[in-house]
Amino acid sequence: MHSHKRQKTDSEAEKVAEAAEESLKQHPHASQNTPMKVHDEGEFAGLKRHGTTAEQAQKLESGSTNPFSGAKFSQKYFDILEVRRDLPVHAQRDQFLEIFHSTQIMVFVGETGSGKTTQIPQFVLYDEMPHLVGSQVACTQPRRVAAMSVAKRVADEMDVELGQEVGYSIRFENKTSPKTILKYMTDGMLLREAMEDHDLSRYSCIILDEAHERTLATDILMGLIKQVSVRRPDLKIIIMSATLDAEKFQTYFNDAPLLAVPGRTHPVEIYYTPEFQRDYLDAAIRTVLQIHATEDDGDILLFLTGEEEIEDACRRIALEGDELVREQNCGPLKVYPLYGSLPPHQQQKIFEPAPEKLTPNGRAGRKVIVSTNIAETSLTIDGIVYVVDPGFSKQKVYNPRIRVESLLVSPISKASAQQRAGRAGRTRPGKCFRLYTEEAFQKELVEQSYPEILRSNLASTVLELKKLGIDDLVHFDFMDPPAPETMMRALEELNYLQCLSDEGDLTALGRLASQFPLDPMLAVMLIGSPAFKCSEEILTIVALLSVPNVFVRPASARKRADEAKMAFAHPDGDHLTLLNVYDGFNSDEAHSVGLHQWCRDNFLSYRSLSSGQNVRSQLRRIMVSHDLELISPGESRNYHNYVRKALAAGFFMQAAKKRSGSKGYITVKDNQDVLIHPSTVLAVEPEWVIYNEFVLTSKNYIRTVTTVNPEWLVEFAPKYFDLKHFTNGDVKLSLERVVDKVKSDKKRKRGVDNGCKFYQ
DNA sequence: GAGCACTGC
């Protein structure tokens, strides 16, 4: 077994991040709390802010001097400018400016290939001239990679260095400077900023891009910005979306005007099956093989729901593809899986060209990519001509009654189906084979998937909203208001965590918890951990609980992977096992073997562990900045008890008791029958455990569990364990005994204490 | 004796 070691020195990533933060402190943005400076208008002399024309802007763009940086434009700039002027949005620049001038909020609809994400912010810059008034323009994206890559592209287009006039800001990286006037950022990042600056005062224009994706962060931002727009009439707002529900955005933003620009994609022919397909996986495989046997060249993209299904399909397609090559003289077929947890070098393989034909006169080779939804939005693959869409994906659902989020294979929406089909028309006209009937498409698929806010536990959202200064959550103007029960559950949970008072006001603890990019339960546990002398250990555990699973279990080596895991096992449970893994990852041994190799040897995910390391250092910095003590019981033989107590203090709402007589556990308060997930390292079933998550799959499981003493639960969360509110049963009975024992222990202790005093 | 769709701070 691996022994527990003290935390190593700060990682390299941490040092870099610290340096970045330090430099930000020294160079706060010019617009922050400083009086407006008089700027040299330079090339912009004579132009009226919020009164420019496309012609004026284009004249500046075609000039010799970059009006924002003052530098001479490069040849490369003019080359790109030519391409830009060919984009569909370009033709409507005047129209855009007219609307932009006449209104505070507008909705902009642009399909893929319209150029909206790169061009609209630049149109805004030439009209806003933010550098002259010391403001910034923000453009939000749902994903980090998008924010980074678009910023890079636009910096090139504007002929400036990335991070200067054009930059980006994402969780672990702030690539902006005092010069920055256009900032691409994740929507979550803008939300963080709003928590400190409720009026978003440094921005003169905010562009919410990809609003149709309706991420939790976008939805909250829309509600917030709608409020801010009243307080700040000078703030311009653009909501950008793909076509589908533009009207909904318009209505929500007080009938904001709309501008729509066509996209530039190739036509995609849609085929439906004549009848319902009982086995979509089988139908999908047959369709792929049939395309390969009968259709012209061009790669195939097949959408399935998850890793196991995808790996299975890949095996079967490859096998039967070989048969087609042998028996029907088909071209060679190469099959690639694609899903999020695939290591990056494997993900990269999908960009390899299709296989060469086997003989000079043979038929062309073909590439098949079998992917989850990741290929629907996050990743685009050029060269796809055929899309096979069975019409399903895994979607998160939330059951507020038992406070469980789970993944369910469900039919996709019409919008998703359209997006999937569009993937076939990126390079040339394509075909999309839908494995459902046209009638099913029309009648059974919903228009849009439910926005995330209707499918999530809202504990952390509610905390964020409170921190944003929104007191009246019941009347907060959500675009789609969450179910009252979900809201109640979140408020209740935050109250038990003492983040909200009984009146629903943010407490000091709540304010502190909101500083951490964590689920409130984890944040509270972290904040409480110095009291148990183990904040260093809890930091590690919390970090690893908030990244994807660190344990890898390939189908081909399950037994060896399980054995490797057991080498890290701690007898008290899975949380302490995570601690051992992290210490192993930071050990001299791992460094001498090489971290990648060490992870492979131990069936661990390098990606998860290093991102855990990043998260840990970010959390650690937040701890330091709020004077939360960093402390460790060190090599003490008892360290695990400190950690277990800290875990109990944070996870008291997720406790379960072994059922007397029968197998399995029963959750406290919710009274759910559950089993400990087989992935646990626990060899025996302890009486009481706390668990990290409740997963609903083939059975009800609790996953990542650690043994605790019930006395701790009652002691640390007396309000939650007020037995008056418990339903009669096994759990209540044993808790009553626990409460009695705690009481009598206290009495005895007091007696002894008094006795001592008496005799002294 | 199982399965982590995807994203974000």
Per-residue pLDDT of A365-387, as tens digits, reads: 899 999 998 888 877 788 899 99
Higher pLDDT, A61 or A264: A61
Q: Is the CB of A560 under 7 A from strand B?
A: no
Q: Is the CB of A217 under 7 A from strand B?
A: yes
Q: Is the CB of A454 under 7 A from strand B?
A: no
Q: Which nucleotides of B are covered by protein (CB under 7 A)?
A: 1-9
- Give the contacts of A361 (CB within 8 A, at least 6 positions apart): none
> Which nucleotide has the least CA–C1' distance to A552?
B4
Mean pLDDT of A37-57: 83
> Which nucleotide has the least CA–C1' distance to A309?
B3
d(CA A6, CA A215): 39
- Mean pLDDT of all residues belonging to chain A: 87
d(CA A459, CA A461): 6
Distance, angstroms, CA A252 to C1' B5? 29
> Which nucleotide has the least CA–C1' distance to A393?
B5
Q: Provide the pLDDT confidence category of residue A135 given band limits of 50, 70 and 90.
A: very high
Helices assigned H by DSSP within A629-729 = 639-650, 710-716
Asked if residue A317 has pLDDT above 90, the reply is yes
- pLDDT of the residue at A39: 63
- Give the contacts of A277 (CB within 8 A, at least 6 positions apart): A283, A390, A435, A436
Higher pLDDT, A730 or A76: A76
Q: Please check whether residue A433 is in contact with residue A291, taking contact to mean a CB–CB distance below 8 angstroms.
A: yes
Mean pLDDT of A10-33: 44
Q: Provide the pLDDT confidence category of residue A344 given band limits of 50, 70 and 90.
A: confident
B6 C1': nearest CA residue: A374
- What is the DSSP code (8-state) at residue A70? -
Asked if residue A21 has pLDDT above 80, the reply is no
CA torsion through residues A222, A228, A233, A234, sign: negative
Q: Is the CB of A263 under 7 A from strand B?
A: no
pLDDT tens digits for A620-644?
Answer: 999 999 999 999 988 777 888 999 9
Helix or strand (DSSP H, E) at A365: none
d(CA A128, CA A96): 13
> Which nucleotide has the least CA–C1' distance to A551?
B4
B3 C1': nearest CA residue: A308
Backbone φ, ψ for residue A423 (5° rounding) = -65, -15
Mean pLDDT of A85-95: 92
Q: Is the CB of A679 under 7 A from strand B?
A: yes
d(CA A332, CA A363): 8
- pLDDT of the residue at A110: 87
Q: Is the CB of A344 under 7 A from strand B?
A: no
Mean pLDDT of A742-759: 59
Q: Provide the pLDDT confidence category of residue A31 given band limits of 50, 70 and 90.
A: very low
Asked if residue A22 has pLDDT above 70, the reply is no
- pLDDT of the residue at A150: 92
Mean pLDDT of A207-218: 92
Residues lying close to strand B (Cβ under 7 A), chosen from 103-142 of chain A, are 142
pLDDT tens digits for A459-487?
Answer: 999 999 999 988 888 889 999 999 888 89
- pLDDT of the residue at A751: 57
The token duo for A452 is: 């995330």
Mean pLDDT of A601-606: 91
3-state secondary structure A14-50: HHHHHHHHHHHHHCCCCCCCCCCCCCCCHHHCCCCCC
- pLDDT of the residue at A314: 92
pLDDT tens digits for A216-233?
Answer: 999 999 999 999 999 999
Q: Give pTM, 2 decimals.
A: 0.88
Decide: residue A46, CB within 10 A, 0-12 exposed, 13-18 middle, 19+ buried: exposed
- pLDDT of the residue at A670: 81
Q: Is the CB of A460 under 7 A from strand B?
A: yes
Helix or strand (DSSP H, E) at A182: strand A182-186
- pLDDT of the residue at A512: 94
d(CA A494, CA A492): 5
- pLDDT of the residue at A368: 94
Mean pLDDT of A190-212: 93
- What is the DSSP code (8-state) at residue A760? -
Identify the three-state secondary structure at position A503: coil
Asked if residue A4 has pLDDT above 70, the reply is no
Asked if residue A182 has pLDDT above 80, the reply is yes
d(CA A577, CA A613): 16
Beta partners for A657?
A: A666, A688
B8 C1': nearest CA residue: A188
d(CA A261, CA A114): 7
Q: Please check whether residue A287 is in contact with residue A435, taking contact to mean a CB–CB distance below 8 angstroms.
A: yes
Helix and strand element counts for chain A (H, E): 29, 21
Residues lying close to strand B (Cβ under 7 A), chosen from 471-490 of chain A, are none
Residues in chain A, overall count: 760
Mean pLDDT of A404-408: 81
- pLDDT of the residue at A499: 95
- pLDDT of the residue at A287: 94
Distance, angstroms, CA A171 to C1' B9? 7
Distance, angstroms, CA A378 to C1' B7? 9
pLDDT tens digits for A524-576?
Answer: 999 999 999 999 999 999 999 999 889 988 877 888 889 999 999 999 999 99
d(CA A458, CA A490): 6
> Which nucleotide has the least CA–C1' distance to A555?
B3
Distance, angstroms, CA A628 to C1' B8? 25
Q: What is the CA radius of gyration of chain A?
A: 29
CB count within 10 Å of CB A560 equals 12
pLDDT tens digits for A348-368?
Answer: 888 888 888 888 888 888 999
> Which nucleotide has the least CA–C1' distance to A698?
B2
B7 C1': nearest CA residue: A143
Residues lying close to strand B (Cβ under 7 A), chosen from 283-312 of chain A, are 305-308
Distance, angstroms, CA A213 to C1' B9? 18
Q: Please check whether residue A507 is in contact with residue A499, taking contact to mean a CB–CB distance below 8 angstroms.
A: yes
Residues lying close to strand B (Cβ under 7 A), chosen from 138-177 of chain A, are 142-145, 170-171
Distance, angstroms, CA A83 to C1' B9? 36
Least confident of A191-205, A404-418, A455-469: A404-418
B9 C1': nearest CA residue: A517
Share of chain A above pLDDT 70, in %: 93
